[in-house]
């Protein structure tokens, strides 16, 4: 009874955070977009007036459209980290299921972890991208409250991560590359998840993904929250959509801990370096995938074309590589994260020698 109460409480809180249904999703406009919306309204009013009165207002409409396009370039070309976080959470943003429909063909969804049950927060199955057979796995959120309850707002239970690993092992058995779409606020933190071994399930995925003998390409398509993201993100290549974020904690959580004030999330987002551009500079990700002006939800088809091109490029790189080379590259990728160049020569020599010894050990295994 206690578990049910806690679960329902979390659902209610998240319902308020994500919105209350499709109507709310369609009307979601951010504060920084208001100037664009105002110009759009004026354009629509002029068009309506022109139709009703048969007066030629094309010059005024053209001028306003030019103003709107300039505003879009100015606003979307200089977004703050917090504004990008807001776009990453937009309820109309394409989810894993949307990209699967747009990019892949012959998708067959697979269910269950063969231990407890089927977690709908993780979507996965076999598919084909052009002529390459792959295993595709991703977090999946809902479009309204009812679906979000079923999908648990994209926050997976342990059985979700066990399902993901089962599908990855299946891909390994049949030598299929693995593609994962990351889009979660984090793994579900409730009592039921802890009772079923949330930490153990994620830890096993980190261990087993690091040794998987087929290439793994991950894409952060929205939110990349903490261990919930890492649970399907130990990959050879990590890509990120332009308006996604990838972080150990949400900006609100960071602000609540460090500043004792969750309302300081914009300042925390800036300090945390969580945007795609920051992540590329820090070598956490390998490439930024362009989105249409204003975010992927403005043109999912164009975003999917850009994403498909990147996936094909990276999958193609591994066709001639052995399983040993694939595993070793993945190991080196994560070993190199956080390495700083500016150290004393003596210490640097020790670090390099230690690193070479570890590389040799891995190669000999």
The reported pLDDT for the residue numbered 12 is 40
- Using only C-alpha atoms, what is the Rg of the chain? 23
Please state the pTM of the whole predicted model.
0.84
Answer yes or no: are the C-beta atoms of 95 and 141 closer than 8 Å: yes
Structure tokens at 83: 């504004």
User: For the chain, what's the residue count?
Assistant: 365
Q: Give the alpha-carbon dihedral of 276, 281, 282, 284, to 10 degrees.
A: 50
Token match 């009165």: residue? Answer: 53
Alpha-carbon distances, residue 22 vs 146, 147, 169, 221, 339 (angstroms)? 10, 11, 37, 20, 45
d(CA 237, CA 217): 5
The answer on 240 and 347 residing in a single domain is no
The reported pLDDT for the residue numbered 200 is 96
- Pairing label, strands 132-139, 122-129: antiparallel
Q: Is residue 355 part of a domain?
A: yes
Q: Give the DSSP letter string of 119-165.
A: -TTEEEEEEEETTEEEEEEEE---SSHHHHHHHGGG---HHHHHHHH
Nearest alpha-carbon partner for 217 in 273, 179, 167: 179
The reported pLDDT for the residue numbered 359 is 59
Regions of the chain where pLDDT drops below 70:
1-27, 340-365
The answer on 209 and 192 residing in a single domain is yes
User: Where residue 106 sits, what CATH number does that domain have?
Assistant: 3.90.226.10
Number of domains in the chain: 2
Answer yes or no: are the C-beta atoms of 126 and 156 closer than 8 Å: no
d(CA 148, CA 97): 14
The answer on 170 and 239 residing in a single domain is yes
Answer yes or no: are the C-beta atoms of 18 and 153 closer than 8 Å: yes
The answer on 229 and 345 residing in a single domain is no
Q: Is residue 31 part of a domain?
A: no
The reported pLDDT for the residue numbered 58 is 82
Nearest alpha-carbon partner for 178 in 287, 326, 334, 328: 326
DSSP 290: P
Q: How far is CA 236 from the centre of its chain?
A: 16
The answer on 334 and 248 residing in a single domain is no
pLDDT tens per residue, range 205-256: 999 999 999 999 999 999 999 899 999 999 999 999 999 999 999 999 999 9
Answer yes or no: are the C-beta atoms of 274 and 246 closer than 8 Å: yes
DSSP 263: G
Q: Is residue 246 part of a domain?
A: yes
Structure tokens at 343: 């150290």
pLDDT tens per residue, range 99-112: 999 999 999 999 99
Structure tokens at 41: 């309204």
d(CA 354, CA 72): 51
The answer on 314 and 233 residing in a single domain is yes
Q: Is residue 316 part of a domain?
A: yes
The answer on 342 and 234 residing in a single domain is no
d(CA 51, CA 170): 60
Answer yes or no: are the C-beta atoms of 141 and 156 closer than 8 Å: no
d(CA 215, CA 202): 19
The answer on 104 and 249 residing in a single domain is yes
The answer on 351 and 307 residing in a single domain is no
Nearest alpha-carbon partner for 19 in 141, 183, 191, 120: 141
Q: Is residue 176 part of a domain?
A: yes
DSSP 275: B
Tell me which residue range forms the domain holding 160.
Answer: 91-320
């Amino acid at each position: 009874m206690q578990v049910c109460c806690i679960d329902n409480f979390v659902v209610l809180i998240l319902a308020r955070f994500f919105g209350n249904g499709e109507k709310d999703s369609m009307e979601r406009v951010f504060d920084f977009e208001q100037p664009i919306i105002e110009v759009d309204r004026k354009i629509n009013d002029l068009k309506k007036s022109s139709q009703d009165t048969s007066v030629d207002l094309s010059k005024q409409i053209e001028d306003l459209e030019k103003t709107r396009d300039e505003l879009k370039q100015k606003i979307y070309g200089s977004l703050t980290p917090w504004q990008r976080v807001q776009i990453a959470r937009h309820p109309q943003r394409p989810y894993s299921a949307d990209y699967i429909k747009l990019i892949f063909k012959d998708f067959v969804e697979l269910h269950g972890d063969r231990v407890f049950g089927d977690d709908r927060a993780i979507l996965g199955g076999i598919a084909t991208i052009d002529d390459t057979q792959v295993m595709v796995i991703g977090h999946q959120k809902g479009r309204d409250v009812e679906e979000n309850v079923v999908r648990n707002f994209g926050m997976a239970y342990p059985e979700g991560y066990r399902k993901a690993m089962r599908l990855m092992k299946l891909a390994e058995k049949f030598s299929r590359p693995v593609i994962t779409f990351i889009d979660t606020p984090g793994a579900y933190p409730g009592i039921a998840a802890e009772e079923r071994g949330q930490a153990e399930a994620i830890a096993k995925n980190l261990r087993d993904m690091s040794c998987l003998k087929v290439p793994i390409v991950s894409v952060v398509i929205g939110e990349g929250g903490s261990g919930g993201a890492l649970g399907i993100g130990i990959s050879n290549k990590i890509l990120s959509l332009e308006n996604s974020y990838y972080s150990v904690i949400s900006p609100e959580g960071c602000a609540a801990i460090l500043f004792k004030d969750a309302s300081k999330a914009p300042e925390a987002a800036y300090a945390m370096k969580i945007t795609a551009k920051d992540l590329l500079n820090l070598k956490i990700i390998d490439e930024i995938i362009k989105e249409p002006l204003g975010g992927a939800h403005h043109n999912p088809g164009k975003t999917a074309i850009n994403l498909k091109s990147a996936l094909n490029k990276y999958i193609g790189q591994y066709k001639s590589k052995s399983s040993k080379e694939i595993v070793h590259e993945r190991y080196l990728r994560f070993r190199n994260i956080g390495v700083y160049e500016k150290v004393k020569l003596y210490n640097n020599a020790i670090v390099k020698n230690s690193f070479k010894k570890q590389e040799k050990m891995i190669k000999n295994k």
